[in-house]
Amino acid sequence: MSSFGGQMVEYPTISIDRFDRENLRARAYFLSHCHKDHMKGLRAPALKRRLECSLKVYLYCSPVTKELLLTNPKYRFWEKRTISIEVETPTQIPLIDEASGEKEEIVVTLLPAGHCPGSVMFLFQGNNGTVLYTGDFRLAKGEAARMELLHSGGRVKDIQSVYLDTTFCDPRFYQIPSREECLNGILELVRGWITRSPYHVVWLNCKAAYGYEYLFTNLSEQFGAQVHVDKLDMFRNMPDILHHLTTDRSTQIHACRHPKAEEYFQWNKLPCGITSKNRIPLHTISIKPSTIWFGERTRKTHVIVRTGESSYRACFSFHSSYSEIKDFLSYIRPMNAYANVIPVGTTMDKVTEILKPLCRSSQSTEPKYKPLGKLKRARTAHLDSEEEDDDLFDDPPPVPLRHKVPNQETLHPEVFSMTAISQNHEVFSMTAVSQNHEVFSMTAVSQNQPENLRQSTGCFKEESMPTSLLANFVDCQESNSESEEESGIPASLQGGMDPVALHQQKSDVDVPQWEVFFKRNDEITDDGLENFPSSAEAGASQSPKLFSDSDGESTHISSQNSSQSTHISEQGSQGWDSQADTILLPSQERNCNDTTSLNKGGYRPRIKGNIPASQLEQNVLCPKDTYSDSRSRAQDVNIVPGVGEPTTISSGKNKPEEKWLLNPGTKADSQSSSDFEIPSTPDAELPKQEHLQYLYEKLATGESVIVKKKKTSLLDI
DNA sequence: GCGATCAGTT
DNA sequence: CACAACTGATCGC
């Protein structure tokens, strides 16, 4: 839970995610996402009064957050005082002291945070330097390096302070399976159950909070069954989410809630009250999304744990793991880092001790030259074969990068609301992508109507799920020694091995394959060196590329187990892994290649994508603003009027849902980040640390390094 | 009666 | 396991 007070030392006249006490005097408010613990005081009478007499005070947030906020009647009074800002669009905001008339300007840039729909980080640039407030975030390793607007002159910006989500900033939480691994695990578990009969249903025991939407949409898309929820009106303007949800209880996938849901479930009753369909009793399992974490040296993790006869826990995390946080911070390298959250069981001092070494201020000898902080460019398929020989550290001429329209335009206050709408609209689907990390892919939704999917999957339903599945699960549960895991994993759950299912999915040629968003194993990060050995291990072992689609599965399952990870974990990890005694699914990406639902849509953020190791430091495409400071470039900054009709900025065609749905941004691996998979061939050896050191030294001196890499899919554009 | 806070629950 | 939110008790305005 955030304990951030709302104010940053550099810019104390603005308040973020806190709206009570001293924040009542702020000149501007910012909301990073729509979770209650970040909205303290936002509907309090005191702030309401303030709003009535301070007419120049506004709340700034992403378009999706604005939509979610204002669909809640309790916050409706913010309607005329909320200004949405497009992600990745530097925007100038006036900070006016209404008593004295004193005015200050600040430029804010919203960056995708991957925490829940609409969640963003705020990058502020003004007279007191550049600061980054992360809000809550989940970003995979290497994500920061792909954020164009964190960079300037081809390098990461000079950031004074980072206000950081430190929820899992403790070595206990070293590793959390990636979003894709978790999603795949859940998909397979659900597939194994609901394909048995129309009377087999699953209940997703989710909390009342935003952040599960990508799970719902992927399940719906994969199985052609909408997810039953209690409420969906908040998504009324987000059709690509809305279409995957239903209030019709007759579906096989439920995420409805009830105060006595657990009790109901004991009696085979769903939270919505139903127990049967066509007078035939339902067979129900519950899946509870939970954070499951692992120690530092754990290569393999397990994303599904059986907790009872019909109950499962599925790994799911809204927050970055310890190693993800360290990767992020060590890339940004701010002068200071402040913890927004004190993880349970630890202290602010301990967190500070972890953060300090990753900040520049801790190292007086820190060289000015920061060779490891360069923006990673997306690579296009046609460049694949030519780029490897380029000098990695060359700063090529600043070839203009195609920017999002808002970034290119000078938006004058008087025309802003009009131009912004029409121009943003065009690119909305692209910018939106990174705004809401949670949804990997969704654009294909409309191409794959549930009916079609149902039809296409129906043919293998019964055969794909052996009737012994349940028994297999039971076996797994009963085994309490790690070596039994291999036999405990149902074949049908081992990576979508079912031939019929596999065939079915592969035949779906119209759907972009997973590589479009996820295949990045031929790139490496140039940062987070200290994490390297274990991260490389983890990444390599989990790489779908390092093992063929169908083999190696059982080996991994048996080769890594909970107790192993326990005894090799670093301090604080003892016992964390051993609890996973009913592990069902290893987290390695068994079947990335056939998880089409992850990458339907075909959109990808421009600056993300495959970057081969050899191109790591290349700047083939320079961002337009590479050589200039955004603070001084009015033409790249939107001006927020702060008066007039600000709310129109996000109205019209700027439908929040589009952004958020298209967002493959978070598709990136988390722990298993392909960034660390140096050798991308199955039989290649992991690089030794010494070798890496050598490699990086060469890179730093500008020598060319040739690294063989795999051919990239043509889809990977 | 409403809201803030805390403890307990899921 | 934690998270985020809900519930209920208590207290103050």
Domain boundaries, chain A: 7-173+324-358, 179-316
Rounded to whole angstroms, the Cα distance separating A136 from A435 reads 13
pLDDT bracket for residue A587 (50, 70, 90): low
Query: Which DSSP symbol is given to A404?
Result: -
CA of A362 to C1' of B1 (A): 53
* Rg of the Cα atoms in chain A: 25
Nearest nucleotide (CA of A40 to C1') = B4
Rounded to whole angstroms, the Cα distance separating A327 from A320 reads 10
Nucleotides of chain B touched by protein CB (<7 A): 3-5, 10
Name the residue with the least CA to C1' distance from nucleotide B3.
A44
Question: Is there a contact between A224 and A596 (Cβ–Cβ < 8 Å)?
Answer: no
Lowest model confidence (mean pLDDT) among A81-85, A211-215, A256-260, A526-530 = A526-530
Whole-model pTM: value is: 0.64
Distances (CA, A) of A543 to A298, A456, A672: 14, 29, 7
User: Average pLDDT for residues A262-266, to the nearest whole number?
Assistant: 91
Nearest nucleotide (CA of A579 to C1') = C1
Nucleotides of chain C touched by protein CB (<7 A): 1-7
In the CATH hierarchy, which fold is given to the domain comprising A179-316? Rossmann fold (3.40.50)
In the CATH hierarchy, which fold is given to the domain comprising A7-173+324-358? Metallo-beta-lactamase; Chain A (3.60.15)
User: Average pLDDT for residues A171-192, to the nearest whole number?
Assistant: 95
Rounded to whole angstroms, the Cα distance separating A314 from A562 reads 16
A579 CB neighbours strand C below 7 A = yes
Q: Is the dihedral of CA A163, A165, A171, A176 positive or negative?
A: negative
Query: Measured between alpha carbons, how far apart are the two ends of chain A, in Å?
Result: 39
Neighbouring CB atoms inside 10 A of A63's CB total: 30
Higher-confidence residue of A568 and A94: namely A94
Nearest nucleotide (CA of A288 to C1') = B10
Q: Which of A376, A263, A382, A393 is nearest to A621 (CA)?
A: A376
CA of A45 to C1' of B1 (A): 15
Rounded to whole angstroms, the Cα distance separating A236 from A243 reads 10
Helices (H) and strands (E) in chain A, counts: 21, 23
Residue range A52-101, pLDDT digits in tens? 999 999 999 999 999 999 999 999 999 999 999 999 999 999 999 999 99
Nearest nucleotide (CA of A33 to C1') = C4
The kind and range of the H/E element at A111 are strand A103-112
Strand partners, A305: A313, A583
CA of A344 to C1' of B6 (A): 17
CA of A167 to C1' of C2 (A): 9
The alpha carbon torsion through A263, A267, A273, A277 (nearest 10 deg) reads 160
Residue range A295-352, pLDDT digits in tens? 888 777 789 999 999 999 999 999 999 999 999 999 999 999 999 999 888 889 999 9
